[in-house]
Amino acid sequence: MSTGTVAVILAAGKGTRMKSSRAKALFPLCGKPLIHYPIRAARQTGIDRVVLVVGHQAEMVMAAAEGEGVSFAVQEPQLGTGHALLCAEDALRGFTGTVFVHCVDVPLLPAELLAEMLETHRREGNAVTVLTTVLPDAGKYGRIIRGEDGRVLRITEARDATPEERLIREINAGSYCFEAPLVFELLHQITPDNDQKEYYLTDVLALANARGARVGAVIAADPGQVEGINDRAQLAEMEARLRAQICRRHLLNGVSIIDPATTYIEDDVVIGQDTVIHPSTMLHGATRIGEGCVVGPFSQLFDMTLEDGTAVISSYVERSVLRSGAKVGPYSRLRAGCDIGPGSVIGNYSELKNTRVGTNSHVHHVGYLGDTTVGDGVNIGAGTITCNYDGARKHPTVIGHDAFIGSGNLIVAPVTIGEHARVVKDREMPEEK
């Protein structure tokens, strides 16, 4: 028998209003699938055990959660939120303690609010604690029904509410703390006696009260923190809010972002102080940018590492490394596997793939280097191409330290060019004295 706190994330739904063949849980938000955000909030609160309830496109959702350290329960068919939690009963067999339940489509719930819920739940000795908020217009949301003493009695779905209940502005935010095993005993008692013919998780509150168990609530002061995503318009709005939060975080940490409205930075990106991000720049994945760098305008970085003092100007770069003081662009591309040495420059309209460039070397305009190793102090002129592919296999090129490669050369791999060598067209050769 185990005790403590377990998080159960409900992620089985199709998300019909997304108008997509893709499960809602898989939609990306600032570079991460929606399932990432509630899992992260649980981890940040100190909840180590997370159960993800999957259903629609279960295998794809489980694959997307790979590496998150979660276990899974399958809801098939999908018969409502109460049925979803009941499907996690086997996964929690023998567990005694608090079960935190959260929906996958509410991604901005902060860990601090979750911690407040758990603390209130334990301090008050509640069997159930529901997260609520107050809206000017409660609309389609479930209403919190309280007694004269302010105690939470039940939740009534909007479609099932009376005209008087529809006037209530406190609504169910869709997150709960339950005590187990009591919650599973109560889940077995609920019935689909409602307009949707579904098993409502909200019915547990009335059943808990009928058993004499204590039901409490925590009110979220900011409704935006508990807002859900039902369609692509709401997803886009949530993306804009999260982007603004991410930019603000970097601004307060000493990064200059010239135009946050046109800057896209994913949540895992790290940026050092005194770096300048110019407009229309996109920073993706596990990108790491050092101090005093310049990025943009119109640059895209994917899983990049930029050491201090580097620059990526109007270029597309991915899964590569720029060493201290290196510069790329404008209008260049680094494909995966490149390592650009300290002080080296990759000029405009150049493309590199799986190429290592040494210290203080220059790769000038309109060229291509693939599977190439370039030494220190090398000059590679405009229009130089390493022909690395013979139609069946890739071959390497090695260019030694302080070599000079003139303009317009086609270097057919495999080939090694030695240190201090000079490769030029006939017209570039100096006349013999």
Residue 3 pLDDT class (50, 70, 90 cuts): confident
What are the tens digits of pLDDT across the range 399-409?
999 999 999 99
Q: Are 150 and 71 in contact (CB under 8 A)?
A: no
Q: Which residues contact 265 (CB under 8 A, 6 or more apart)?
A: 243, 246, 247, 250, 271, 277, 282, 283
What's the pLDDT at 195?
A: 72
Q: What is the pLDDT of residue 428?
A: 52
pLDDT tens per residue, range 111-157 = 999 999 999 999 999 999 999 999 999 999 999 999 988 899 999 98
Listed by start position, the domains of the chain span: 2-226, 255-428
pLDDT score at 432:
45
Helix axes 36-44, 111-123, angle to 10 degrees: 50
pLDDT tens for 288-343 read 999 999 999 999 999 999 999 999 999 999 999 999 999 999 999 999 999 999 99
pLDDT digits (tens, 9 = 90+) for 41-84: 999 999 989 999 999 999 999 999 999 999 999 999 999 999 99
Query: pLDDT at position 429, please?
Result: 53
Q: Report whether pLDDT(433) > 60.
A: no
Three-state helix/strand/coil letters over 243-288 = HHHHHHHHHHCCCEECCHHHCEECCCCEECCCCEECCCCEEECCCE
CA dihedral sign of residues 191, 197, 198, 203: negative
CA distance 198 to 220: 27
* % of the chain at pLDDT higher than 70: 98
Q: What is the pLDDT at residue 196?
A: 76
CATH number of 2-226: 3.90.550.10
Q: Which is the CATH superfamily of the domain at 255-428? A: Hexapeptide repeat proteins (2.160.10.10)
Round the average pLDDT of the chain to a whole number and report it: 94
Q: Which residues are catalytic?
A: 365
- Residue 251's pLDDT band, with cuts at 50, 70 and 90, is very high
| Global pTM value | 0.88
